[in-house]
Amino acid sequence: MDRVFAWGPAETVADPARSILPDRFEPSSWATREVFTADECAAIVALRERRAAAAGTLVNGVATDGIRRSRLIWLEQDDPEVEWIAQRLTRAVADLNRDHFGFALSGFDEQIQLTEYTDANLGFYDWHSDVGGRGIPRTRKLTLTVQLSDPAEYEGGALELNFNGNPVEAPRDRGVGTAFPSYTLHRVGPVTSGVRNSLVVWTHGPRFT
């Protein structure tokens, strides 16, 4: 059974005076839960070995080293080796959405992103929103990113979310997924030692009204 770790970020608004939002605005929400076991995380990372990697691009498809340094593998949802992963992600997203977000969602319209950030080039991804101006990224609504690496094996690489001017850090626990509205500003800090792997899936749907 998946476990909900956090429902925030009300308790993390350390300094309301620094908030960029009006008082009456309820900060957007995020939720985390276990999605994969440690062994399953290792099996997912091992999928790298038989697949070609690409440099991570920005939401608009542009590759810019100064904003993002990561290597990506795209996992095809109908690949027999990937099917169980897609099923688990579907379950996690459906549960999280039902319990916390209540968004109108239609499905995963993109492949699943297996991401690697390494200390070799201080891998990172600077502040960004996942919603693009055109094409499929425009209909992204809910982002789920799962920590695939043992937190003891890397330093840096923190996933941070900025809802209101006070960034909060997502749990680093291996196998735990963090879900947030795709328009939320977030970043991955530079990995200063070791390697961090993550699995990112976007759920799409009708535009917010």
Ligand X SMILES: O=C(O)CCC(=O)C(=O)O
Residues of this chain that interact with ligand X (CB under 6 A) are: 113, 115, 125, 130, 145, 159, 186, 188, 198, 200
Query: How far is residue 90's CA from residue 23's CA, in Å, rounded to a whole number?
Result: 34
According to the 3-state scheme, what is the secondary structure of 34-62?
Answer: ECCCHHHHHHHHHHHHHCCCEECCCCCCC
Which of the listed partners (Fe ion, ligand X, none) does 145 bind, with a CB threshold of 5 to 8 Å by partner kind? ligand X
Among positions 68, 69, 73, 130, the unique one binding Fe ion when judged by CB under 5 A: 130
Closest separation between CB of residue 152 and Fe ion, Å?
Answer: 24
Q: Which is nearer to ligand X, 125 or 163 (CB)?
A: 125
Q: Which is nearer to ligand X, 1 or 191 (CB)?
A: 191
Tokens (6 digits) for 4: 């909900």
What's the angle, vertex CA 53, arms to CA 51 and CA 58, rounded to 5? 140
Q: Which is nearer to ligand X, 113 or 166 (CB)?
A: 113
Query: How far is residue 122's CA from residue 167's CA, in Å, rounded to a whole number?
Result: 21
Q: Which is nearer to ligand X, 100 or 172 (CB)?
A: 172
The runs of H, that is alpha helices, within the chain are 38-46, 83-96
Closest separation between CB of residue 23 and ligand X, Å?
Answer: 29
